[in-house]
Amino acid sequence: MQLSIENVSKTYSNGVRALDGVTLTIPTGMFGLLGPNGSGKTTLMRTIATLQDPDEGEAYLGEINVLKEKDAVRRVLGYLPQDFGVYPNVTAQTLLSHLAALKGITNAGERKDVVEALLRRVNLWDVRTQKLGSFSGGTKQRFGIAQALLGNPQLIIVDEPTAGLDPEERSRFLNLLSEIGENVIVILSTHIVDDVAEVCSRMAIIKEGRVLRGGEPQRAIDAIRGKTWKKVIDKNELPQYEAEHHVISTRLRAGRTLVHVFADERPDPSFDEAAPDLKDVYFITLSRSNGAPDEDSVFPANAHVTTTDGSSGGKGNGR
C-alpha cells in the first residue's frame, strides 16, 4: 500500500497559504516529513488524518479516497498529534481499554487481550496501573503510540513526537517507530533533522507549504559529497565569510565559529573537506529557497520529488 498526495493546497482565512501544491508518494516504511516550524507539516498531517479539508488536490491511501471516504481512512489510521492530551487521573490500562472500545473492539475478552499486547509492545506493562499524569514525556509518548496502534492501522502519523524528550527516551521512542514501520506506512513529521536521519529510509523537505526536495536521505547526502567544506574562524569574521561564500551552517566551538560552506571546489587551502550529513542537505535546501546561490546541479529547481525507488511523486517547487 502507498499514500499518494497530489497537488494539495490550503489557505487559511487569515491569508496564510499553509500548503502550496504538495505532491508526494509515500510507500510502506518510515517516511520523514522534515521542515522548520510553520512550514505546513501539521496542516498536511491533519489533512491526511481527515481532520480538515484542503482547498484543492487529491489524496489516496491505496484505493481509499482520503478526502471523500473519511470513515474508511479512520478505520485504518493511527494518529499521534503534536499536542496529545490524556486524562491525568486515569491509569494507562483503563484509558487504553476505553479507547479500544471507541475504536470498535467491543468484545471484553478480545479488548483485554489487545490492551495487554499493546502495553507490552510499547514497554508499559509494568506501569499499566499508574495514573497517566505521573508519566514522563517519553512514557506518555509511548502510550500515545499504543493508542495509535489500536485496530492494526495501515497508516500511522506522528507529529513532532520527540520534541522535549531526553536522549534516552528519544532513542527508545525512535526504535519503537522503526519496528512499527517495517510493515505499515509511518509518517514522522518533525523539524529535528537527526530523527529523520536515524530512522527514515525516505523523506521530503517542506518549507512555506512547498515541497523543496524528496527522496532517500543517503542519496541526498551523497549528492553533496566533495562539495561541503569547513573552517574555524573568529566570530567577527562571519559577516565577511557569509558575503564571500555560501555558508550553510555555523556552530560555536570553544569561543570560535565553525562554518560549513557549500562549493563545487575547495574555497581556499585553509578549508578542510567536511563529511556531509543530512543537516547539510537540509540547510542547503532551505537556503536555496531563500535565494541563495543556485545549486541546480545538485538540487534541480523543478526536479520531480522522488520518494520511492525509481518512481516520481510530482514536481517540487523550489522558492
Domains of the chain, residue spans:
1-86+148-224+303-319, 89-134, 226-275
Question: Rounded distance, CA 103 to CA 99, Å?
Answer: 6
Question: Rounded distance, CA 44 to CA 85, Å?
Answer: 20
Provide DSSP, 49-69. Answer: TTSS--SEEEEEETTEETTT-
Query: Cα dihedral sign for 19, 39, 203, 63?
Result: negative
Query: Cα dihedral sign for 246, 276, 313, 28?
Result: negative
CATH architecture of the region 1-86+148-224+303-319:
3-Layer(aba) Sandwich (3.40)
Tell me the three-class secondary structure of 241-287, residue by residue. HHHHCCEEEEEEECCEEEEEEECCCCCCCCCEECCCCHHHHHHHHHH
Predicted local confidence at residue 303, as pLDDT: 34
Predicted local confidence at residue 109, as pLDDT: 94
Amino acid at 175: N
Judge contact between 36 and 286, C-beta under 8 A. yes
Judge contact between 278 and 257, C-beta under 8 A. no
Predicted local confidence at residue 294, as pLDDT: 37
Q: Give per-residue burial for 236-260: e unless 16+ CB within 10 Å, then b.
A: eeeeebeeebbbbbbeeeeeebebb
Burial level of 272, CB count in 10 A (0-12/13-18/19+)? exposed
Phi and psi, residue 66, nearest 5°: -60, -35
Cell 478526502 found at: 67
pLDDT in tens, the chain (319 residues): 899 999 999 999 999 999 999 999 999 999 999 999 899 999 999 999 999 999 999 999 999 999 999 999 999 999 998 877 788 999 999 999 999 999 889 899 999 999 999 999 898 999 999 999 999 888 888 899 999 999 889 999 998 888 878 888 888 889 888 998 988 999 999 999 999 999 999 999 999 999 999 999 999 999 999 999 999 999 899 999 999 999 999 998 888 999 999 999 999 999 999 999 999 999 999 987 664 333 333 443 333 343 333 333 333 333 2
Predicted local confidence at residue 290, as pLDDT: 60
Smallest Cα–Cα separation from 159: which of 188, 180, 185, 139?
188
Predicted local confidence at residue 98, as pLDDT: 94
